[in-house]
Homo-oligomer: A and B are copies of this chain.
Amino acid sequence: MHFTYFMPAKILFGRDCVAENASLLRPFGKKALVVTGKSSAKNGALSDVLSALEANGQKACVFDKVVANPTLACVQAGAEEARRTGADFVVGIGGGSALDAAKAVAALAYEPRADKDVFSGGWTGALPVAAVPTTAGTGSEVTQYAVLTDDFRRTKTSISSPAFFPGIAFLDGKYTAGLDKKITADTAADALSHAVEGMFTVKSTPVSDLAALESIRILFRIFPKIEAGSLADGDREELLYASMLAGTVIAQSGTTAVHAMGYPLTYYKGTPHGEANGVLLGEMLALCEERLPERTERILRAAGTKDVAAFKGALSRLLRGHARYEKSDLERWAEEASENPKLAGVTYRPDKEDILRMYLGSDILAEGANPER
């Protein structure tokens, strides 16, 4: 046994956790910049956070211009706003895009950098961040990563630092109650990909494997309810919990091949991040089964699926109606994904051919684009 484990975020989980634990934000400073998207404001989270800050006598400005797959322009604008308003800390509210943007804003407000230097590492600190997820998928509330659109490398690239861990994560299932079926399914698939990918890296740990398997167990139990559109409040909570667990997994392991392969689908075609991972995950597991059968078996057992085909089938049903792509695109993306640094440390060691095989084996080819031709 040889591992490192670190996840310093304080987790407050449960209904009304923001209001109940507002005072925990007091040590963060006098002025907050609340970073969110336009629609994240509609589920009650923003008003809860603003009330909490007001109760603490803390000033707040709202930067609600976060876009999906946040760009450098977006987070630079947020950082500029943080500096202009003299923010001592950042509260991120939203899905992965908003939370990741919040972390990047906190980093760039603390340490201004030109665009070309954002992805070069070596961050020395960041403003303190509190995170309020409003989707159940990202896990960003318990990780040290901020994933940004990277136009230099034409993909999404994460920046990371131990300083980016949110100090507090407030998880209240009610903020996810209004999510539609598509977003719920996509984000759940994202959480699943975190749990599964996290078990196939050299940085996986016994502690994170425990969290990963529990997350997989919960997600597969709830997938049919997502498909049926019959999620109860308790199911929403469980999804949020499973997503958080999977976040603690990637906080140790990082994400790997599936994320590297999924990013082009998002970067070039705008496919939602969770869908992109979810449609590729089954083929990854098929490859893992050949090379690391024992680990794969543990995952299948946790999922309650008898084999990889059943695992893939469950994801297909969850993501029914997903996007499809031209073979020529997949071939090009296989080149690109195989260059992604995320592939270092993947225990099943996929090469370029493996990546193309996973793309083509996934049921994502456009009609008529038969891989046999």
Contacts and interface: CB of A to CB of B under 8 A. Distances in A.
Contacts of A245: 207
Contact of A11 (B5, B17, B173): B5
Interface in A209-230: 210-211, 214
A10 B5 contact: yes
A149 B240 CA distance: 42
Contacts of A13: 1-5, 205
Interface residues of A, number: 28
B4 A12 contact: yes
A369 to B, nearest CB: 44
Interface in A318-352: none
Contact of A238 (B1, B11, B210): B1
B14 A10 contact: no
* SS class, residues of chain A in contact with chain B: mixed
Contacts of A2: 13-15, 17
Contacts of A206: 241
Contacts of A8: 8, 10
A150 interface: no
Interface string A275-300: 00000000000000000000000000
Nearest to A8: B8
Q: Lowest 4 A-B CB distances belong to which pairs?
A: A2-B14, A8-B8, A5-B11, A6-B10
9 contacts: A1-B234, A1-B238, A2-B14, A2-B15, A2-B17, A6-B11, A7-B7, A8-B10, A210-B210
Given A2-B15, A4-B11, 11 more contacts: A1-B14, A1-B173, A1-B234, A3-B11, A3-B13, A5-B11, A6-B10, A6-B11, A11-B207, A13-B205, A210-B211
